Every structure is written in C-alpha cells, then in structure tokens.
Structure 1
Amino acid sequence: MSGRNKTIALLTFLVIVWGINWPLSKIALSYAPPLLFAGIRTVIAGIILIFAALPKWKQLQFRRLWPVYLTSAILSIVFYYGFQTIGLQYVPSGLFSAIVFLQPVLLGIFAWVWLGESMYGLKIFGLLLGFLGVAALSIGGFNGSISPVGVLLALASALSWAFATIYTKRNAARVDMLWMTAMQIMIGGVILLAAGSATESWSAITWNSAFIVNTLFIAVFVIALGWMVYFKLINEGEAGKVGSFTFLIPLISIGSSVVLLHEQITTNLIVGMLLIVASIILVNVKLGRTHG
C-alpha cells in the first residue's frame, strides 16, 4: 500500500470509529454515570496499549518523560473527556458537538502559529466552511435555553483537544509515539476513574450486554486504536490538514444515530454534509507556490 493510500485508509478508519462513538456512548451512558463510564473505557484502552508497547519497553523512559506523559494525559484525556461528559448535561448534544468541532479550526490556527504550518486565504476559508457545516448539522441543538456553563465547557473541550494535539506534535521527537499514547490514556483513565469513584456510585452501573459490548468496542477501537492512529497521522502529516478531516466525524455520527437511535435526516444534514466536503477539499488543495 502506498503512503497516500495508507493515510487515506487510516483517516477513513478514524472518522468511522470516532463518528459511531457518539451514538454508542449515548447508549452506554443510559447504563452508567458519565465519569465512571469515561474512566472504565479509558483504563481498558490504556491496558491494551501498554501491552502493545511492551516490546519497546526501553523507550518508555518514564523517569525522564513523565512530565510530558502527565501533561498530555491531562489535556487530551482528563480535560477533553471530562469537560465533554460534564458539559453535555448543560446543553443539547448537537450544540455541544458543534462547538467541540471548532477544534479543527483552532488546530489549523495553532499549527500555523506554533508549528509553522502554512496558512493562506483558501485554507482559512475551508476551515471556516467546515465549522459552518458542523453548525448546520447541529442546528437542532440551538433550540431551547442555552446554558453559558455548557457553552464554556464545550469551548474548553475543543481548546484542550487542540492544545493536546499541538503539545503532542511538539514533543513527538522526544517520545515513542506508542508509549506516549499508552501513557496519556492510562494516566488520564486512572484520573477519570478516581474522580468518578469519588463523585458517583459504582452500583449505578447496569452490567448488561449492551453496556459491556459498547464499552469494549469504544475502549478497543475508538480510544486505543483511534488515538494511536490520530497521533500517528499528526506525527507524519500536517496537524491542520489531519484536523480538517475530523469535520467528517459528525457526518458519521449523525448517520449512525439515524440507524441506531432513529434520529431523522433533515435539510440541515444535507447542507452540513456539502459544506464539510467543500471544507476538506479547500484545506487539502495545493496551490502553485503554496505548500499546504
């Protein structure tokens, strides 16, 4: 498989598993409190990744690199999942996800400022179109009273994800990417599990097949393999360009919600899909002298 085809295959996998994560998480949350659910799935993923990384044991260098692992865990796991699970209680999920998916726009800007990636008019326009697409998809979430706390938590979720990606890319040369992913997920999962154990009740979890299957699927494919693929792509390609493809995630999320949760297809959905496709084309197009 050529490098380009491999990248496309990895991006396709990532968009699909991160897309179906939203309705699957929604189903699982009806059987468990949010922080305990977030902690359980993340710790399982962390254990899987540690086993996968064991052959590279010498590259862990925990004594020297633990500050990098901890910072990354707090930004991309504790803050991202924490703000998300708490914030969803304050605002409709559509509005929340629209704000969270500001992340690729923020990432495009941060990658330009801190990583020296190129920025030009067409790319900016493409990033903005992508956000407009997500907003159109989620317009249903704008009905009803909007909680400022929920909006701030959604913004905090998007910011922590963007900062985590930049931080990971800036430190990529110092760490082994597999150990970096394993450590941040394990450390983040343990912190989430501790927070859940302190504030929620384990007896509130219903250990039925729907909860167990969803949790295992999310742990293995969405978190363990998903983050591994995401950081591999970020490490090898432009952070902003990879980030732009995350705009496709709400498309998969809504499509799978239609199937799994019987949500309806609307005009907003079609408009949003067209805007997102246009966004990805614009962000990834190469212009003469400009290397995008």
Structure 2
Amino acid sequence: MNLSDSRRASIAWLFLCFAWGTGFVAAREGVKYAPPFLFAGLRVLGAGLLLLVICLLTKAKLPNRRQLATLLTMGAVIEGFTNICIAFAVFYLTSGMLSLMLATTPFWMVGIESLKPQGDRLSSRHTVGLAIGFTGMVGLLAPKLIGVSYNSHLLMGCLVMQGACVSISFGSLYVRHQRLGVAPFMGAAWQMISAGVIVVLVGTLRGEWVRWHFTPQVAKPFFYLLLIPSMLGYSCYVYCLPRIPLALFSLHRYINTVVTFLLGWLILGEKFGVGECFAVVVIFTGVFLVQNSSFTVSKKEPSS
C-alpha cells in the first residue's frame, strides 16, 4: 500500500469514527418529529437503493438467485432485526447509552463462538475481559435499577439493545464463514434494502403512516442519517477494513461512543456524571481485552 492509499485509509477511518458517532444523536432528534420505525426503515431502504444505483452505474456484477436469496435473508434477519431493536430502544435510552450498548457486541460474539461444537474456546484473557465488562455494566445500571431509582424504561431499552447485539454477533459469525462471491458494496446494498423493507413493514403494521409527515424537522436528520452514517460511513468501513491493522481499526467502536456521549451532552442536553464515566472506562477495558485476545482453538479429538 503506497502513501496515498495509507492517507486515504486514515482519512476514511477518522470519518468513520465521527460519522457513526453522530448517528444515534441524529436518530434521537428525528424521532421527536417522526414515528420511529418508518423513520428508520425508510432511511435504511433509501440508503440501500442509492448504493445499488451507484453499484449499477459502476457496472458491478449482480448476484445470482442463490446469492440474492442469502443476502436478502441476512439483511432481514440481521440488519432488519437490529434496526427494529434500535427503533424501539431510542425512546428509552440516551444516544450515549444506545452507542455504549452496541459497543458490548464483542462480549456476545466471543461467548456465542465458544458455545459452538467446534468453536474457539475462551482464553483466560477473554474470561477476564468478560468479567470486567459485566462489572462495568452492573456499575453503570445498578444505581438506576435499585430501590426508588428503579427505571423500567432503562431496563427495557438495555435488554432490547442486547437483543440487537446478539443479532449482530450471530450475523458477524455467520458471514465470517461464508464466501458468497459478491462485491461488498453490492451485498451491502441488497442487505440494506431487505432490512429497510422489514422495518417499514413493522411501521406499517403499527399504523405509523398516519403520523408520518416529512417536515423540515424530519428531513434534516433523515437525509443526514441516510448520507453520512449509512452511505458514506459504511463505504468508509468497507474501504478501511482490509487496509488498516485490525487492532487500530477496532478502536472506532470506542471513539464512536465517546463522540456520541459528547454530542448528546452538547446538542441534546443528556446528562453524564463522574460515576457513569468510570463505568464506561471499565466497560471499554473489558471490550478491549476481549477484542484484542487470541482464541484458543479447540481441536476435536479423532474418534478411535
């Protein structure tokens, strides 16, 4: 990789850190004026269609029937379910908490992988990371869930977002072992289209169209989310992944969350105290240990 490629990858990575960090703040602003499932579904659907048009204009190869069926299923089950969870939880959690909950995805990923019959066993460092992360989560949530401070909405939002983490984990582990032979942007376009249709269908079943009004207050966060986090953010993700060392690339999870907390405080007036800061540092420590540990590969004993 020459110097210009390195610079482009670095710029794309920095943009990704910012773009995905702003997404939850824009989503929280958008659902003040629009029903959540249509707001999320139409945005994801629009981003998928726009990306598909770009792929067709650049003469990218279309998937065959088998590949398309797999992509649509993955989009509906993984991305669709994840966006449904986020659309539900956005009313119960601050933008910073939404981002932080998603940052715990590696915990679920390594846990699910270790439970597979021929999966990778947890190393001691993984176990320590999971324990530290769980301790941080308890420290963050316990003060708000005990006694007179009990907040059922917070609990519901956190549980729903953990469902999103499980969905992302299963999807990531599934994709890890698949070789579809489809161009990354073409695959992403069809998955977003499928996910968008599913989320719009949920919004339709909830009767949200009667409350859908595409006002300027809705249009601003809608188009921002469509173009910046979805289109450009995902494009940067795909571009950076093979060009930046994984240890450095994975740091975007932490920076995304910090950006979200800062913007939530500055723009939305979301409160965040010293205790929460300490708990987040503990959680980040656990995520770091889990993400940057090597699995101990389990080997099945040959049958005699």
How many Å separate the matches in 1 of 2:207 and 2:88? 12
Q: Radius of gyration: which is bigger? A: 2
SS in 2 for 1:59: coil
How many Å separate the matches in 1 of 2:126 and 2:12? 22
Structure 1 residue 99 displacement after superposition: 4.3
Contact map agreement 1:32 1:205 (CA 8 A) in 2: yes
Contact map agreement 2:45 2:192 (CA 8 A) in 1: yes
Report the TM-score, using the length of structure 1 for normalisation: 0.78
Match among 167, 185, 189 for residue 178 of structure 1: 185
1:154 aligns with 161
> What's the CA shift string for 1:127-147, capped at 9, x where partnerless?
554565566566676443436
1:197 aligns with 204
Paired letter, 2:43: R
Matches within 5 A, 1:207-226: 207-226=214-233
Contact map agreement 1:241 1:283 (CA 8 A) in 2: no
How many Å separate the matches in 1 of 2:228 and 2:121? 32
How many Å separate the matches in 1 of 2:61 and 2:217? 38
- Fraction of identical pairs, as percent: 20
How many Å separate the matches in 2 of 1:113 and 1:53? 38
The structure with the largest helix share of the pair is 1
Match among 47, 50, 58 for residue 48 of structure 1: 50
How many Å separate the matches in 1 of 2:234 and 2:138? 25
Match among 68, 71, 76 for residue 78 of structure 2: 76
2:69 aligns with 67
Check 1:271–1:19 CA distance in 2 against 1; reply closer, same or farther (3 A cut).
same
Check 1:28–1:210 CA distance in 2 against 1; reply closer, same or farther (3 A cut).
same
Matched, 1:22 2:24: yes
Structure 1 residue 19 displacement after superposition: 1.8
SS in 1 for 2:152: coil
How many Å separate the matches in 2 of 1:135 and 1:85? 24
How many Å separate the matches in 2 of 1:119 and 1:10? 33
Match among 97, 105, 108 for residue 107 of structure 2: 105
Paired letter, 2:79: I
How many Å separate the matches in 2 of 1:9 and 1:119? 34
How many Å separate the matches in 1 of 2:138 and 2:12? 26
Check 1:104–1:68 CA distance in 2 against 1; reply closer, same or farther (3 A cut).
same
Contact map agreement 1:165 1:234 (CA 8 A) in 2: no
Paired letter, 2:16: L
Structure 2 unaligned regions, length at least 5? 297-304
How many Å separate the matches in 2 of 1:9 and 1:124? 34
1:144 aligns with 150
Structure 1 unaligned regions, length at least 5? none
How many Å separate the matches in 2 of 1:4 and 1:134? 37
Aligned alpha-carbon RMSD (Å): 3.9
How many Å separate the matches in 2 of 1:87 and 1:277? 21
Number of equivalent positions:
289
SS in 2 for 1:52: helix
Check 1:138–1:180 CA distance in 2 against 1; reply closer, same or farther (3 A cut).
farther
Report the TM-score, using the length of structure 2 for normalisation: 0.75
How many Å separate the matches in 2 of 1:134 and 1:251? 16
1:122 aligns with 125
